[in-house]
Structure 1
Amino acid sequence: MGTPPDDSHASGAPPIQTDVVPGDIATVPVASTFADLRVNAGTGLTSSEVSARRETYGFNEVVDKKGHPVLKFLGKFWGISAWMLELIMALSALLGNYSDLAVVGALLVINAVLGFTQERRAAGVVKALRKRLQVSARVRRDSNWQTIPARELVPGDVVRVRTGDIIPADVKLLEGAMSLDQSALTGEATETDMETGDVLPSGSIVRRGEGNGVVVLTGAQTLFGRTTILVREAQPKLHIETVIAGIVRWLFIIVGLLLSAVLILSLIRGAPLLEMIPLLLVLLMSAVPVALPVMFTVSMALGSKELARRGVLVTRLSAAEDAATMDVLCVDKTGTITMNQLTVTEVTPLEHATKADVLSAGALASRESNQDPIDLAFLAAATANRVFDDLPAITPVSFAPFDAKTRRTEALVEQNGRRLRVMKGAVRAVAEACGLKPPALEALDARVSAAAARGYRTLAVARGVGENTPVLLGLVSLYDPPRPDAAQLIATLHGLGVRVKMLTGDALAVALETGRGIGLPNIRRVAEVKGACGTADLFTGADGFAEVYPEDKYILVRNLQAAGRVTGMTGDGVNDAPALRQAEVGIAVSTATDVAKGAASVVLTDAGLTNIVALVEQGRTIYQRILTWIINKISRTILKAAFVAIAFVVTGKFVVSAFTMLLLVFLTDFAKISLSTDNVRPSRNPETWHINRFIGVSVLLGIAMVAEALFLLWIGWTRFGLATNDEALHTFSFLMLLYFAVFSVVSARERSWFWSTLPSKTFMAALTADAVVGTALTLVGLKHLQSLPWWQVIAVGAYALIACLIINDTVKVLMFRWLVPGAGARLTGPKAMPAE
């Protein structure tokens, strides 16, 4: 490679030529590139040069264009809920009800302000989390290799890229060769081969190969006007959205049938049609989930923020929701279950080789800049044994990184005028490359098995001259101890109903030894599953699989899903990306490549499984809050619609006005946003969105509340004079529905007795404010709301409390025990494991 003269850093040097067009960059020779960029390939830039260039060129990033906040705010006036309110405003103006027009207009604006504010806060949480998920780059500065965020690169930085990396800027390749996937940039799925002198475009993915390069363009000046893909923000439709869509559809059908009956009876009785339309629209609106988007967004954002505090970054808000239903988790052994800190524990020279021969050849087939644990173990052992002290100078010629197909790494070096080929890798793969036949292979397998029985991983090292067949020099045993907390964490996940399956490329014997120590004793070869019939049986009895190639992970995920399992997958490499994308919960571990992080929906910042436990628990917490909202929404919608419709049929009057119903919808729906902060005990078992039985409980609770509300109305009608005073009737019905809403959600938040857990302070404050404000509004003389005697107000509140927290709560507990066994089991209850 070319190196500029020593005075290339001298003052008065010409400015950096980073404004050349892409075609010029590709044709300029490497030596000229160094001269233009004023950089020494051997030392890289100095800290002062980096600072000076950043002042000129800024950070290596393209600033995202954001929508104008005013336009986003105006967007809150568009949608089903907003259209309903706007239609009511238009009808109120048409009928001359200007006070209703003013109030509905105020509700519309407040609705928009609340929704806009909460979504902005949630977006801020996501933005803060994404800042922590950055593409990294290996860069040489001040003569040292270091890893930095890609946004800190400047033109002239010398970088190293490997398989699985996203090219962090436009980089001219100085040495090495590789195959790039540019589909994210060009849309073409075919790979492109790159050689020394080629320009690697920003955002491309290295599929095979590695090499060193120099950054030529950064930020908005890159070939495609972008730096890197920080997060592949796939935004699949949430499972809960499908559930809610079905629920709302049926609620509309139910409400529509009731309102059709009311409309027909009104026409028969000769009621003015124009006066009925606003109330009919408001009743229909009772089935629209007005605060649903805000509640879900806030709940997901708060959960994601809590997860970030515990070392889990989510790349989309719905990731935690997916984790609630996960019942199988496939995890890598190395780096997740084990420490990923390999050390050479035993060297076995073969035939005429020496220990120094084995270690030196293994070290030459390693690269420190790759920061690979196996490479670092060989290099550390070679240094500790000083194997290169008495050897002639060795010049690297080429290096072929580990390939999952050949299962080895190779290097070509020059020593004393001759070229040596060195390699290290899986014992059988290297032995076959050396021409060994079955009898010798079986003897080697016996040695590998003996080492594996002690938990050691064994690699083979070989060396040859030129293109001649290499000679097997010896075996090297490595040890990667399990993490101290691995066994306990796997037991914890089992206690949460999540089956853990260990995946490793190691031989079966090594995997068995590791598995026995962490509570996963039944490990099988992955070949037993591939192409076998009855794979469900194999998955049921297996605690993991050995001899797994990266592409096998995708097959395992698909088979688990075909068996009806909601699957999580951890991964770290580029070949893990398809499996991470396929799994319902794709988890990139702390040491993952940029491609793996982009494909995953969750990124761990700390090593090990501890944070996965937090992910599962937080996901189930969010699920329980959303389920509470569903149960409460269904039951209250049935209460409001059926109560008004049946009361009209019986009395010939609308027991609530359009204004009071709108006020009720606004007060109660937005108070339920506080459910996103409620204290919840996650369940012991994986959740499921097959919630027909929960809906059945909700319908029964709604019917019970309708009967109770009609009975209370009968009392008021016959004893309190409501039959002759419409405004008192409206107030009475308004307070009754308000108090039922407040107390029913206190019951709905628990699948067991309502006192089983203490609500959060925010939730209780919101409900208290809801009741106090609603009651106070009946005392200030608002239209259609006449103040009632204090004893009637207390009587209505006490009746609602007894009905919801005693009668209906008992009905709820009995129905859950009958229809949804185990629904009340939470983390404080006995452990339960679902049968596989």
Structure 2
Amino acid sequence: MQHHDHVTEDNPETKMSHAGGDHHAHMAADFQKRFWISLALTLPILLLSPMLQKLVGLRDAISFSGDLYLLFGFASAVFWYGGWPFLKGLFKELKSRQAGMMTLVAVAISTAYIYSSAVVFGLTGKMFFWELATLVDIMLVGHWIEMKSVMGASKALEALAKLMPSDAHKLMPDGSVKEVPLGELVLDDKVLIKPGEKIPADGVIIKGESSVNEAMLTGESNPVSKKSSDKVIGGAINGEGSLTIEVKGTGKDSFLSQVIDLVKQAQESKSKTQNLADTAAMWLTIIALGSGGITFFIWLVLMSKEFAFAIERAVTVMVITCPHALGLAVPLVVAVSTALAASNGLLIRNRSAFEAARKLQAIIFDKTGTLTEGRFGVTDTLVLAQNIDEQTLLKYAASVDANSEHPIAKAIADSSEQKSPVENFKSIPGKGAEGRVEGRDIKVVSPGYLQEQDISMTDQRVEPLQAQGKTVVFVLVDGQLQGAIALADIIRPEAKPAIAALKALDIRCMMLTGDNQATAKWVSDQIGLDEYFAEVLPQDKAAKVKQVQSRGILVAMTGDGVNDAPALAQADVGIAIGAGSDVAVETADVILVRSNPLDVVAILQLSRATYGKMIQNLVWATGYNVVAIPLAAGALYAWGVLLSPALGAVLMAASTVIVAINARLLKMHQ
């Protein structure tokens, strides 16, 4: 993807109208038009070519006075009109001192045209206007297919741009609703979104509840429940409820615009593997021109063949060596993989780092918010008396704590759907809360309260929970100790399978956390980490990454991209996870929109698959020359095997099509 304009307008849809998609569409249309016109002109060229007339035994029937001048006229039209993109490309490449595919094609068709024209006007020899015409046709159709393939790879980007609606229902100060174009929305505007409509801008819900489909933006297939004070992303589709939002991001500041920009930057950024392709293309050009010259010299001087035969061999060699497929091999894979990643919520900012991800030997995860959800949840409920069950115990505790704002109390309140009304609720400062539930006095308190009140706690199940770094609170019913509830930062359900998948890829998995040793060990044991670093202060995270790198291994850091910025920058590959709508994480190389550790596995697998496709394409684009060049030069001439320039062009075009198809076969691992 080249030639993208920078995005400046408010509506992402208008951005794309000036972007590379249009450039490629214009070029594809131009090649298509030139191909069909050249093809139409090729038919009379074939009919008027003396060599083909002899071949089918119709020389006497078809030839007429002045037919060669007519043939010259048709061939000139094909050379100048059909061959113009290649002639123009020749001057461009020579000007930039980078001889490549255009140079080869232009030299081949010019040699054929000039020599054949000289034959028409009196030089003794053979004409191969028909080879010239068919070569131009095949090169044009190859370029047309190439442009269509590049456009195909851009489709995901265009699909993203089309996500935005064209207008919005703006709520006016007097309570009325006014239809306004998207470009007129400004920060803090209130917007109404009806069921089934697209959300017109990033914002925060101030009224209403609904489920929102963010699949095209985040790759999350299930609709996400949204309520008041939740964030929503422009371009997502509202479900069954009516929502009122306050606009927080429009135009180029919106999540969608940032995604489009990131995808464009990644598709335009130079791939490291592209350097390899450029080097190969340069050498192929030198080999082609050199081989063409040597072939011409051998047949004309050493083998004493006629000039026409020697020039035909030289032209064929130069045509078949065209690094046409090579020019497409890497950029097309880059475009496909970047678009594929974006549609799955994986945003690549730095292509070199993304390609390096295939060689990673270790991944360091930040614990809070990455491997865990960053919020307390109940992990264990212990019943310490005979006359109560677990469900009742949780109901009592949840009923009391529903009145408290403390994070631990909120987690307990969320742990039970059953709650009863509470009378006489009061907080016990620093120790817990109490109240009357169903006529009974309920206290939910800390271990410190038990010590203060001299209440003995003899159950041996409590100590191991505390040793794991969990927070344990106790439930008293009418002054009697009847239960204990353990809480911890909830481990993400995807964390364990993600670590298992990474270990299967032979990657060492580590964790950084500011938590104590006990908590770190518990999380590590739960999900199967190889190593962990506990009690690490935020400012020391980068030093820990450096410490692991000093072992001589390639390291990725995965964090939430805010307090982990120095560590993300220090790592060989920085992966920001759970960036949500805050896309522009400046220090990360790869941004994962969802808070899902499995996406780390996906990015690694995609990096490996992308590199594999690039190498396959490079091998195919260069490898066929090993066989084709000697055939084109006439190495098997003694056995009657000779490759014509047109057949050489067919082979070259076939390799281009194979490279294009192979790139399109790149898939995400499920």
TM-score by length of 2: 0.53
Looking at structure 1, the residues matched to 276 and 300 of structure 2 have their Cα atoms a distance apart, in angstroms, of 36
Indicate the residue corresponding to 1:567 in structure 2.
555
Do residues 341 (structure 1) and 375 (structure 2) align?
Answer: yes
Matched, 1:453 2:406: no
How has the CA–CA distance of structure 1 residues 111 and 643 changed in structure 2, closer, same or farther, with 3 Å as cutoff? closer
2:470 maps to a residue whose letter is Y
Aligned to 1:66: 19
Task: Choose which of 88, 105, 108 in structure 2 pairs with 1:85.
Answer: 105
Q: Which amino acid aligns with 1:455?
A: G
Work out the CA distance in 2 between the residues paired with 1:586 and 1:262: 52
- Contact 1:339-1:481 at 8 Å conserved across structures: yes
What are the residue-to-residue correspondences of 1:388-403 with 2, within 5 Å?
none
Q: Distance in 1 between matches of 2:299 and 2:327?
A: 35
User: Aligned match of 2:646 in 645, 655, 659?
Assistant: 659
Secondary structure, counterpart of 1:341 in structure 2:
strand
Q: Does 1:110 align with 2:63?
A: no
Q: SS of the residue aligned with 2:374? A: coil
| CA displacement at 1:589 relative to structure 2 | 2.0
Contact 1:81/1:290, CA 8 A, preserved across alignment: yes
C-alpha distance in 1, partners of 2:307/2:291? 16
- 1:661 match: secondary structure: helix
Deviation at residue 238 of structure 1 after TM alignment: 1.5
Show CA shifts across 1:7-28 (max 9, x none).
Answer: xxxxxxxxxxxxxxxxxxxxxx
Determine which of 152, 156, 173 is the counterpart of 1:121. Answer: 152
**Pair 132,503 (structure 1): closer, same or farther in 2 beyond 3 Å:** farther
Change (3 A) 1:81 1:452: farther
Task: Supply the distance in 2 between the matched residues of 1:379 and 1:60 (Cα, whole angstroms).
Answer: 43
Residue 494 of structure 1: how far off its partner (Å): 0.9
**Equivalent position amino acid for 1:664 in 2:** L
1:503 pairs with 2:535: no
1:510-561: CA deviation from partner (whole Å, max 9, x where unpaired): 21221122222x6xxxxxxxxxxxxxxxxxxxx2322334454444555655
Deviations 1:784-815 (A, max 9, x none): xxxxxxxxxxxxxxxxxxxxxxxxxxxxxxxx
- Distance (Å, rounded) in 2 between the aligned partners of 1:109 and 1:488: 49
Percentage of identical aligned residues: 25
Q: 1:564 to 1:102 in 2, by over 3 A?
A: farther
1:587 has 2:575 as partner: yes
Q: Of 609, 620, 623, which residue of structure 2 is paired with 1:635? A: 623
Give the one of 349, 363, 373 matched to 1:329: 363
Q: Report if aligned partners of 1:323, 1:585 keep a CA contact under 8 Å in 2.
A: yes
| C-alpha distance 646-293 of structure 1, shift in aligned 2 (>3 A) | closer
State the partner residue of 1:239.
Answer: 272
User: Structure 2: how far apart are the matches of 1:334 and 1:377?
Assistant: 16
The SS at the match of 2:618 is: helix
Describe the shift of the 1:585–1:122 C-alpha distance in structure 2 as closer, same or farther (beyond 3 A): farther
Counterpart in the other structure of 1:758: none
Tell me how far apart the structure 2 counterparts of residues 59 and 315 of structure 1 sit (CA, whole Å). 22
Q: Residue 122 of structure 1: CA displacement? A: 0.6
What is aligned with 2:431? Answer: none
Aligned length: 455
Mapped to 2, the partners of 1:501 and 1:282 lie a distance apart of 57
8 Å CA contact 1:61, 1:151 repeated in 2: no
Counterparts of 2:368 and 2:310, CA distance in 1:
69
Q: State the alpha-carbon separation in 1 of the partners of residues 249 and 370 from structure 2.
A: 36
Q: How does 1:338-737 map to 2 (within 5 A)?
A: 338-343=372-377, 363=405, 453-456=467-470, 479-520=488-529, 543-557=531-545, 564-577=552-565, 579-580=567-568, 583=571, 585-592=573-580, 594-595=582-583, 597=585, 599-645=587-633, 647=635, 655-676=642-663
Return the offset for 1:483: 3.4
Per-residue CA shift, 1:130-161, capped at 9, x if unaligned? Answer: 8889xxxxxx9999xxxxxx9996454389xx
Cα gap change, 1:576 to 1:286, in 2 (>3 Å): farther
Q: 1:265-280 residue pairs with structure 2 within 5 A?
A: 265-266=298-299, 268-269=301-302, 276=310, 279-280=313-314
Amino acid in the other structure paired with 2:655: T
Q: Which of these residues, 185, 189, 194, is aligned with residue 157 of structure 1?
A: 189
How far did 1:259 drift?
4.7
SS in 1 for 2:635: helix
Contact 1:457 1:479 in 2 (8 A): yes
Q: 1:61–1:219: 8 Å Cα contact kept in structure 2?
A: no
Q: Distance between the aligned counterparts of 2:249 and 2:666, measured in 1?
A: 51
Given that 1:232 and 1:598 are in contact with CA atoms closer than 8 Å, whether structure 2 keeps it comes out as no
Q: Note if contact 1:457-1:477 (Cα within 8 Å) is conserved in structure 2.
A: yes
Query: Is the 8 Å Cα contact of residues 625 and 675 (structure 1) preserved in structure 2?
Result: yes
Question: 1:489/1:456 Cα in 2 relative to 1: closer, same or farther (>3 Å)?
Answer: same
**Preserved contact between residue 281 and residue 326 of structure 2 (Cα < 8 Å):** no
User: d(CA) in 2 for partners of 1:590 and 1:498?
Assistant: 21
Q: Give the Cα–Cα distance (whole angstroms) in 1 for the partners of residues 282 and 131 of structure 2.
A: 28
C-alpha distance in structure 1 between counterparts of 2:659 and 2:545, whole Å:
38
User: Aligned equivalents of 2:256 and 2:663: distance in 1?
Assistant: 36
Partners of 2:665 and 2:146 in 1: CA distance: 19
Match of 1:7? none
- Per chain length, whose mean CA-contact separation is higher, i.e. which structure has more relative contact order (CA < 8 Å, sep 6+)? 2
- Partner residue in 1 for 2:198: none
Cα distance in 2 for partners of 1:130, 1:316 equals: 18
Can you give the 5+ residue segments of structure 1 that lack an aligned partner in the other structure? 1-56, 134-139, 144-149, 160-167, 171-213, 347-354, 367-373, 393-448, 460-475, 523-542, 683-826, 828-836
**C-alpha contact (below 8 Å) 1:494/1:500 kept by paired residues:** yes
Measure how far apart 1:490 and its partner are. 1.4
Structure 2 residues without counterparts, runs of 5 or longer:
1-8, 32-84, 94-99, 118-127, 165-170, 176-181, 192-200, 204-245, 381-396, 428-462, 474-484
RMSD: 5.7
Structure 1 pair 271–623 and aligned structure 2 pair: CA distance change class (3 A): same
CA contact (8 A) 2:285 2:323 kept: no
Say if 1:615 and 1:681 are closer, same or farther in 2 by CA, change over 3 A.
Answer: closer
Distance 2:163 2:540 in 1: 30
Asked whether the 8 Å contact 2:320–2:628 carries over to 1, the reply is: yes
Partner of 1:291: 325
Q: Does the CA contact (< 8 Å) of 1:60 and 1:151 recur in 2?
A: no
CA distance in structure 1 between the partners assigned to 2:499 and 2:282 by the alignment: 42
- Look up the equivalent residue of 1:128 and give its one-letter code: A
Deviation string 1:440-470 (CA, Å, 9 cap, x unpaired) is xxxxxxxxx98762232699xxxxxxxxxxx
Find the aligned partners of 2:257 and 2:339 in 1 and give their Cα distance: 24
| Superposition map of 1:207-226 within 5 A | 219=251
Say which is worse superposed, 328-337 or 574-583, in terms of deviation: 574-583
The alpha carbon displacement at 1:305 in A equals: 6.1
Cα 1:262–1:634 shift into 2, 3 Å: same
Supply the distance in 2 between the matched residues of 1:247 and 1:267 (Cα, whole angstroms).
29
